């Protein structure tokens, strides 16, 4: 691993918009306007909302660990897009989201060796994940560590560039025969 950063990560911060039912319009069942619910990524442009973090310990989160120097996390799902993919209407006045789907990406090499781990294809990494509002007393929302072996992403380890050059060399050599 390049650099001296021990922990790195990101927080996917999500907010919801709930519109209550319009009860005054309910003269008949067909006129009733039920509740609506949407979950969206926050804008990540200000303190307390940034996705890129550099924690000092596993599962550390919040504004005190934000990496304010850079925004290395790229949101694929944009602000204003409802990431709730399945909603259940429990009653005429109750709704819940039971499945969320969104995408965040992080650059493999951010160039920031002071606050980011530069991911390479020659190393193994311990990955941790947690869902919900995290504090030190809430272990129910934290998943156990899982080792991710980046050497398995390309045959024989190495870098993506070296693998691509070898592949191009093989193709050119087969065309020359």
Residue 164, pLDDT score = 44
Q: Which residues pair with 105 in a beta bridge?
A: 74
Rounded to an integer, the average pLDDT of 73-102 is: 85
97 band by pLDDT with thresholds 50, 70 and 90? very high
Better-predicted residue by pLDDT, 130 or 83: 83
Instruction: Please provide the average confidence, as pLDDT, over all residues in the chain.
Output: 75
- What are the residue boundaries of the structural domains of the chain, listed by start? 1-112, 120-177
Residue 166, pLDDT score = 46
pLDDT in tens, 17-74: 998 877 665 566 666 777 889 998 887 777 777 788 888 888 777 778 888 776 667 7
**Out of 11-15, 86-90, 127-131, 158-162, least confident range:** 158-162
The DSSP code sequence of the chain is: -BSS----EE---EEEEEE--BGGG-SSGGG-B--EEEEEE----STTT-SEE--SSTT--SGGGB-TT---EEESSPTT---EEEEEEEETTEEEEEEE---EEE-S--S-TTTS-B--TT-EEEEEEE-SS--TT--TTEEEEEEEEGGGSSTTS--HHHHHHHHHHHHHHHHH-
First-to-final CA distance of the chain? 40
Residue 87, pLDDT score = 94
**Out of 47-51, 56-60, 107-111, 120-124, least confident range:** 47-51
């Amino acid at each position: 691993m390049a650099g001296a950063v021990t922990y790195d990560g990101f927080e996917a911060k999500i907010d919801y918009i709930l519109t209550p039912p319009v009860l005054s319009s309910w003269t008949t069942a067909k006129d009733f306007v039920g509740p609506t619910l949407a979950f969206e990524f926050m804008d990540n442009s200000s303190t307390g909302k940034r996705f890129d973090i550099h924690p000092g310990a596993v599962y550390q989160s919040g504004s005190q660990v934000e990496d304010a120097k850079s925004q290395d996390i790229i949101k694929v799902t944009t602000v204003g897009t409802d990431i709730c993919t399945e909603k259940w209407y429990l009653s005429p006045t109750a709704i819940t989201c039971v499945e969320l789907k969104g995408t965040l990406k992080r650059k493999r090499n951010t160039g920031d060796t002071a606050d980011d781990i530069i991911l390479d294809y020659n190393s193994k990494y311990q990955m941790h994940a947690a869902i919900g509002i995290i504090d030190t007393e809430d272990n129910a929302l934290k998943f156990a560590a899982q080792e991710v072996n980046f050497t398995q992403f390309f045959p024989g380890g190495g870098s993506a560039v070296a693998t691509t050059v070898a592949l191009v060399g093989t193709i050119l050599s087969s065309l020359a025969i």
